[in-house]
Structure 1
Amino acid sequence: MSRTSSPEFKIAESLEAFPSALKGGIVAIGNFDGVHRGHRAVLDAALGLGHGTHHPVFAMSFEPHPRTVFNPSKPVFRLTPAVQKTDMLRVCGLDGALILPFTKEFAAMEANAFVQDILIDTLEISHAVTGYDFHFGRARQGTPDYLRTAGATHGFGVTIVHREEDESAEVISSSRIRENLGTGDIAEANALLGYRWFFDAEVQHGDKRGRDLGYPTANLRMPEDCPLLQGIYAVKVKLGDTWHDGVASYGRRPTFDNGAALFEVFLFDFEGDLYGKTLRVHVVSYLRGEEKFDSAEALVAQMDRDSEEARAALASLQPLSEIDLKLLDLAP
C-alpha cells in the first residue's frame, strides 16, 4: 500500500497552528538552511520511511537561525530564507513543514520537554529523523543518543543520518557553501547544494544608465550580509511562470559611481516593465570579477563579450539533480 501524499503542502508557523493532517507523521528535524545535499539525505530518509505507509512526512525547522539569535551582531547569511526554504521542502516531496520561532526561551527548553510536549503531545509523531549533529534543548543536552533512548521509551522510531560527504570526502555544510559564494566558486556551491543557488528580490528603480548603454537592467538589492563575490554571472530568472536567460553584474559600478552594491540583471530578448516585480534569480555560473573601465565604450564591448559567454553557458545547461531539474523546469 502506497503512502498517500497530501493534496496540498501544509505550512505551520506555530505549534498551535499545526494541522491535524500531519499528526502521527514522520518528522525530519533540522535547520535546513540551503536544503543542500546533506539536508536532503535526512529528508530522503524520512520520505523512504513514509513509502508504503499512510504516515505523512514533514519537516520541522526553525526561524531565525539559532546563531543569529545568540549573536545578533553577526547574523548568519541565509542561503534560503524562510519562504525559499519552504519552497525547497515542497519541491523535495514532503507533505508539509512546521517552522517554529527560535528564541532564547525556546532554546532553554529542557530536552525532555521538547520530546514530551512537542514531539509526543502536539505532533504525535511516529518517527523522527535527524542528522548526526542535531542537538536540542537547554545546553544542547538533547543528543542523537538521547533522542534514540527517548524514542525507545515513548514508542516512536528514531533514525540518525550520517554525515553526507562530497566527491572529495569532505562534509557538505551550509558554511562551506557560504564560503564558496564568497570566493565566486559558484560551481562548487551549486554542486554542494545539488541545484543552482537562487534568491528572490523586487526590482528597484535605478539611475537607468544601463538603458543608455543598450543594456537595460533590473536592479535588485541584496541583503547587506550577502557574501556573494562581486562580479559578473550567468543567470536564469523566473518572472511569474516565465523563464528568461540573462547576464548579471553584482557590484558597485566602479566605472561610474562606485555606489552601494546592486545586483543588476539584463534579460536576453526581453521587453517590458519590471519595476515592482519580484524576480527569482538562479545563479548559474561566475564569469569574471568586477572591473573599472576607461570609458563607457570599453565597458559595453566587455558587456557584449559577457553576454555571449553567458548565453553559451546557459545553452549547455544540464540539471545537477532531479531537484535542480524541477526548480529550473528543465527538460529531462
Structure 2
Amino acid sequence: MQVWNGAGDVPENPGPSVATLGIFDGVHRGHQVVLAATVAEAENAGLSSVAVTFDPHPATVHRPEQDLALIASLTDRLERLEATGLDAVLVVPYTLTFARAKPEEFVREYLVELLQARTVVVGEDVRFGRDNTGDRATMVELGRQLGFSVEIVRDITSDTGRRWSSTWVRELLAAGDVAGAAHVLGRAHRVRGVVVHGARRGRELGYPTANLRADDLGVVPADGVYAGWLIRPDLERQPHDASVSKRLPAAISVGTNPTFHGVERTVEAHVLGRTDLDLYDEEVVVELVERLRPQVAFDGVPALLDQMADDVAKVAGILEVPAPARPTVPAHPGAAS
C-alpha cells in the first residue's frame, strides 16, 4: 500500500480511483465495512482504491484543551488500513487553514482533481468541509455536478443493535473491557510506545517489566491487570528468524503501583518467564486481550508476590502458553525502594 503524506506526495497522474474518506480512528468494524466496499468497487471497476484520512485528529486541532487520546496511533491506523486491501492512503495534514475549505472546495481539490475519483464510497454519517457542513446528500449533489458516482454504505450494527463506533470503543476501554473493545475493533486493542526506565521493582521481585508512560500511548484502558502480548515491531520487520521472539506472552499492569504509593500512571508488561530481555529505548506494542482484575494496594510484598504468581498463571491459561515457574527472590526484595 502506498502512503502519501500530503497532497504533494501524490503522483502527478495517479490514475482514476475509487475513494473514501474518514478519520478511521481504530479502524473498527464499521470502518471496515466502508473500506471493504471501497476495495470491492475498485476491483470490480479495475481502478485503484484510495482512502483519505487526516492527522492530527480534527478534534485536537479545534479543541486542544480536551486532549483527546487516539484509539490507534497513525502507525497502527495505517497498518490496519493496509490490512483492508487498499492500494493507497492519503494522509492530509489537518490544520485550521485546511478546515476552512468549503465542502465543494475539498471534494474538487482532493477527490476529483488530485485522486481522480470515479466513485466515492461513504458511510451514512459522513461529514466534511467547513464546520462539517457537508454530508451524504452534499456528496451526492457534488457527484452530480463534478462527474463521479457516490456509494453510500448503510450503518452496520452489532448483534445488540448498537452502531459500531469509536465512541463505543472508548467507553469499553474506560471500563477496562478490552475483550468487548476487541469485538468492536475486530482485533485486540493495542498501545505503542518506547520502553523507559522505571523503579526496577519488578526486576527485584523476579518479574521484570517493560515500562511505558501511559500519557504517551493514546487510549489506555482502566487501571488493572491484563493478559496480552508484547510485540517487537523492529524485529517483525527483519528477515524471519525462528530463534528470535517477536510476539511474547505478557502480564500487563496499568496504573500507578499503589502498593508502593506511586503517582505516575504507567503500562508495565512482564514477559512470562523471561528475565533476559533488554528492551530499553525500544519501541514496543502492547496488545491487551483480557482483564484479570482491578489494580489494588497489597499489605506488603509477600502478599503482592502471591498475587503476581497467581496473575501470571492465569495469563498463561488465557493465552494458552506454558505457565513459568515462580521466580526465586531475596527474602526482602526492594520493599522500601
Partner of 2:158: 166
Are residues 80 and 226 of structure 1, via their aligned partners in 2, closer, same or farther at CA, if it must alter by over 3 Å? closer
Q: Does the Cα contact within 8 Å between 1:22 and 1:96 map onto a contact in 2? A: no
Q: Which residue of 1 aligns with 2:226?
A: 233
Q: Give the Cα separation in 2 of the matches to 1:175 and 1:245.
A: 29
Deviations 1:57-83 (A, max 9, x none): 121001111121111100221001211
Q: How does 1:231-270 map to 2 (within 5 A)?
A: 231-239=224-232, 240-241=235-236, 242-270=246-274
Q: d(CA) in 2 for partners of 1:29 and 1:22? A: 17
Contact preservation (8 Å) 1:204, 1:276: yes
Task: Provide Cα deviations, 1:189-215, integer angstroms capped at 9, x if missing partner.
Answer: 110001001111111111111111110
Q: Is the CA contact 2:202–2:208 (under 8 Å) kept in the aligned structure 1? A: yes
What's the offset of the Cα at 1:21?
6.9
Could you list the runs of 5+ residues in structure 2 that have no partner in the other structure? Answer: 237-245, 322-337
Residues 247-271 of structure 1 show CA distances to partners (whole Å, capped at 9, x for unaligned) of 0111111111322011111001332
Once the two structures are superposed, residues 176-235 of structure 1 have per-residue CA deviations (whole angstroms, 9 ceiling, x without a partner) of 111110111111111000100111111111111111111011111122674520000001
Tell me which residue corresponds to 1:296. Answer: 301
Spell out, residue by residue over 1:99-143, the C-alpha distance to the aligned partner (whole angstroms, 9 max, x if none): 101122212111111122221111111111111111111232221
Q: Distance in 2 between matches of 1:207 and 1:76?
A: 29
Could you tell me how far 1:49 is from its partner in structure 2? 0.4
What is the SS of the residue equivalent to 2:195? Answer: strand
1:157-236 equivalences under 5 Å are 157-223=149-215, 226-236=219-229
TM-score by length of 1: 0.89
Structure 1 vs Structure 2 CA RMSD = 1.5
C-alpha distance in structure 2 between counterparts of 1:33 and 1:226, whole Å: 11
Relative to structure 1, is the Cα distance of residues 182 and 80 closer, same or farther in structure 2, using a 3 angstrom cutoff? same
Shift in Å, 1:47: 1.0
Indicate whether 1:41 and 2:33 are aligned. yes
Offset, 1:12: 1.0
- Decide whether the 8 Å contact of 2:214 with 2:220 is kept in 1: no
Distance 2:29 2:14 in 1: 25
Alignment of 1:1-332 (within 5 A): 9-20=1-12, 22-223=14-215, 226-239=219-232, 240-241=235-236, 242-270=246-274, 271-315=276-320
1:30-63 deviations in Å (ceiling 9; x for gaps): 1100000000011011011022343111210011
For residues 22 and 38 of structure 1, what CA distance do their matches in structure 2 show? Answer: 28
Which has the higher Rg, Structure 1 or Structure 2?
2
Structure-2-length-normalised TM-score: 0.88
SS at match of 2:142: helix
Task: State the secondary structure of the residue aligned to 2:31.
Answer: helix
Contact 2:157 2:164 in 1 (8 A): yes
Structure 1 residue 288: deviation in Å? 0.3
